[in-house]
Amino acid sequence: MELKWFAVYTRPRWEKKVAELLTREGIENYCPLNKVLKQWSDRKKTVEEPLFTSYVFVRVSPKEQAALRKVDGILNLVYWLGKPAVIRDEEIDLIKEFLNTHRNVRLEKAQLFVNERVKIISGPLMQMQGIIISVKRNTVKVNLPSLGYFLTAEIERQDVIVI
């Protein structure tokens, strides 16, 4: 059975503990740690903090996923479009390489902006491309040129990718 990387959602501030428990169980895992310089009133110190708060990556087969919920500190797998989110090996390798090369790394959530070209990846308008008109809390309004007309549709954020 092929092993794939998945993300698990942990209790707050349990990332390192969960990684240690997974290692004890013999489950391959990766908890990306960011080296950050902390300043106290009397000293400075470099500490390792989890890059992704409340997330640890695990490499398991689909049959082993159920066993993950038994590990103390793991709340659930991270889901994308109703299925456990698979993380590509290349993405894990990129995170490792980036953290080995740089210090004080910051994460920025990818955002959608007005006038960006996007492709719809799910739903009845799947595979269509368009331009973002507006962005609301959970909805993106996209202008989809089709047959010489503009079709405006409200689409969930998770159903579009920037191209």
The domains located in the chain, with CATH, are 4-101 (3.30.70.940), 117-162 (2.30.30.30)
Sites in the chain below the pLDDT cut of 50: 146-149, 151
Q: Which residue has the tokens 């997974």?
A: 22
Q: What type of residue is 48? A: E
Cβ atoms within 10 Å of 24's Cβ, excluding its own: 9
Contact 14, 73 (CB under 8 A): yes
Query: Which runs of consecutive H residues, i.e. helices, occur in 82-162?
Result: 89-101
**Tokens for 122?**
């799910």
Task: Tell me what pLDDT residue 16 has.
Answer: 97
**Strand 139-146 relative to strand 129-135, pairing:** antiparallel
Cβ–Cβ < 8 Å for 65, 77? yes
Among positive and negative, which fits the CA dihedral 44, 45, 51, 56? Answer: negative
